Structure formats: structure tokens, C-alpha cells
Amino acid sequence: MRGLVVIPTYNEADNIDQIIIEILKYHFIDILIVDDNSTDGTADKVKRWMRKTDRVNLIEREGKLGLGTAYVTGFKWGLQRDYNYFFEIDADLSHDPKEIPNFIKKCREEKCDIVIGSRYLNGTISVVGWDFRRLLISKFGNWYATTILGTKQLTDITSGYRCYKRTVLENINLDDIKSNGYSFQIEMAYKALQLGFKICEIPIIFYERSNGVSKMSKKIAWEAAIMVWKLKLKSVFSKKIQIQSNKQEVTRPIFKA
Ligand SMILES: Nc1nc2c(ncn2[C@@H]2O[C@H](COP(=O)(O)OP(=O)(O)O)[C@@H](O)[C@H]2O)c(=O)[nH]1
Ligand SMILES: [Mg+2]
């Protein structure tokens, strides 16, 4: 069993060493950093690790192309190699790498295809360091997406700490992922549910970053708000087409007769 942790980075030089150290403790895990030409030397720090161990890998992209496309690039890289589990984690230590074995345990014990680390399981709010406004944005984002998409069984569809079984990424058309930013999380979960994959959640604590700055912006939030409707409308539209083609199948023999 081998897992790949994909870490998208943009200006995470003050966090990257620590997260690499924590993850390398798990010998069944390799790391892939997808760096978008950070200006603070993040990639140089990763290269230093690469001289020490072949378990750390790096893809350098030419500019800030977004979290979603960074993950797609990372997953494709991993699919060319023989990993069974793929993780998403933020570089800023908001997600505790100590949870990694718990994701795999949950996957195995409950035959889940995706495990999401949820901050809001069983009505709790497990977030450290957020002000009320930030919490409201996150809670509203979750409510908005799950209400429109009908995915109420998920308490934290926007969480960026997750584990996918290989089969999920082999079956989702990664070239068809439309999200550049954080709506990537919503899009991946929704598409996996549509394909019939089982999504489970485990409780995690989210720690707001101590170093560096958030890349969350109004543009990214708007992309997410619009993306949810695009996903919904696409699914309604494709269901209609399916119903129509089913109808045609039923009526064909009658026409023949
Ligand atoms: N490669 C890449 N990584 C990004 C981009 N935007 C954000 N990230 C990374 O995605 C993770 C989450 O971003 P962050 O700014 O912490 O978001 P927040 O936790 O919602 O405030 C961090 O590891 C960021 O460095 C991007 O455009 N490209
Ligand atoms: Mg963060």
C-alpha cells in the first residue's frame, strides 16, 4: 500500500519544511508539491528535500494557476505511478498530518471511496483561530453548496483535507474539472457522488495558519458560488437527456410493431 500526498503551494516557504517533516514520518506516503512559481523560495526549499530523499517530488508551474488545477496536475502525476491512496492537504499546517492513518483506516473499515476531514461533524465546530466572519463564510459556503446540490449528508463539502482511493481519480474525468479555485473541493465531491462513490467523513480540527497569508479572495468565492449552479444545472440537464433516451428505448419496439 502506498499513498501520495499532493500539496499545492503558493508562497508557503515558512510552512513547507514543517509539513514535509510531519508527513515523511509515514513511511508508506510520498509527497508531491505543486508550486505555482512562489516568489518566496518555496520551491528551493522543496528542492533541498529532494536532494535528501526521493519521497519528495515537485512540479513547478509557471504562475499562480489556482488550487484546483494544481490538484488535477498532481493527481495525474500520481496516477502514472502505483499509488493506492491520494491525499489533499494544505501546506499551511491547518491540517494535522497525524490524521493521515485515520483516513486510511476509515477507508478500509467502512469501504469508503473518499474520506473528507470534516470540521463540522455531529454539529460541532472544530476550528481554531478563526473570527466569526471567517466561520460564517465557511458555514454559509457549506450550506449553500449542499442545499443546491442536495448533498446534505456531507457536513463539510468544502474541506481541503481528504483522501481518495485510486479508483475515484481513475473514474472522474479530470480533464473535465472546471474549478480553478476552492470550488474544486465541491466539484470533486459532487462528481464522485454522481458516479456512485461512497464518501465518508472523519472529524478533524482546522488550525488557522500562523505563517504566511491566505490566498482566499472574492474572485475565488464568486467562482465557487457560480460553480455550484453550473454543476446543478448540468446534472439536471443530463438527467433530462437520459430520461428522454430511456423513453426512446421503451417506445422503439412499439414503433417496430
Ligand atoms: N499551487 C497553488 N497553490 C495554491 C493556490 N492558491 C492556494 N494554494 C495553496 O492551497 C492551500 C490552501 O490555501 P490557503 O491560502 O491556505 O486557503 P485558506 O486556508 O482557505 O485561507 C495552501 O497550501 C496554498 O498555498 C494556487 O493558485 N496555486
Ligand atoms: Mg489555509
The structure's pTM equals 0.94
**What is the per-residue pLDDT across 187-197, written as a single tens digit (0 to 9) for each?**
999 999 999 99
Q: Say if residue 17's pLDDT is above 70.
A: yes
How much is the pLDDT for 250?
53
Nearest CA to ligand 1 atom 19: 214
Distance between CA atoms of 41 and 165, rounded to whole angstroms? 32
The bridge status of strand 114-118 relative to strand 206-207 is: unpaired
Q: Three-state SS across 134-150?
A: HHHHHHHHHHHHHHHHC
What average pLDDT does range 197-223 have in this prediction?
95
Ligand whose nearest atom lies closest to the CA of 213? 1
| Cα(162) to centroid(ligand 2), Å | 14
69 lines ligand 1 (CB under 6 A): no
What average pLDDT does range 173-195 have in this prediction?
95
What average pLDDT does range 128-139 have in this prediction?
96
Q: Domains in the chain, ordered, with CATH?
A: 3-256 (3.90.550.10)
- CB-proximal residues (5 Å) to ion ligand 2: 90, 92, 94, 209
Contact of 66 with 160, CB cutoff 8 Å? no
Contact of 166 with 83, CB cutoff 8 Å? yes
